[in-house]
Amino acid sequence: MDLKKLTSTLLSSDSIKGLSSVTGASKGEVSSVLTEALPALLNGANGQAKDAGTAKGFADALAQHAKDDTGNLAGFLGNVDLGDGAKIVGHLLGSDKDSLTKAVSKKTGVSAAKIGQILAAIAPLLMSLLGKQADEDEEKESGVGALLGNLLDNVDVGSLLSGLTSTNTSSTSSTSTGKKKKKAAKKDSDSNASGLMGLLGKLLK
């Protein structure tokens, strides 16, 4: 699994629908929040995996989450433990959690409370997907840090952005009617793409 595939799974229609159902946020809100926040979560995971003080605990957590059945995303998200998810978000973002939430809220117009729920719901799925990838990695001796590094090093930013903006446009358009709302959807999609480009730029440095 490369980063494009990982992100596509997290932003799939089934994932967006499941997160919307669990959090009460609209599909458009979920899509916008994830587009802005996922790079930061991945950056946090990368930091946890490569820091000597947290690497072992992070690897153990991935191994535990790898056992989760994610074959049915809607079913998985419908039973997600938001308390556990909030703890994961806290570990991944650390002291940057509040500042990221404020930035995403300002960018998307989604309340901080909803953003917290969305991130708490997606975090266990992110950990599970990363854990499964670690299990499938033939070069397990290289460790989780190398896994995260490979995911980030192999990212195709152009393809990733194209897929993400297509997802956002489709998700938003499905709930919009009339020319005015379609224009708003396009504006949101362009804004999300711009925000993601900036965050990915920081992530890939």
Residue 32's SS3 state is: helix
Closest to 72 in 3D by CA, of 84, 83, 80: 80
E strands, the chain, are none
As a whole number of angstroms, the distance between CA 168 and CA 190 comes to 9
- Number of helical (H) and strand (E) elements in the chain, helices listed first: 11, 0
Q: What is the pLDDT of residues 86-124, one digit of tens each?
A: 999 999 999 999 999 999 999 999 999 999 999 999 999
As a whole number of angstroms, the distance between CA 8 and CA 33 comes to 15
Q: What is the pLDDT of residues 40-99, one digit of tens each?
A: 898 888 888 888 888 888 888 988 898 888 888 988 999 999 999 999 999 999 999 999
How far does Cα 158 stand from its chain's mean position? 18
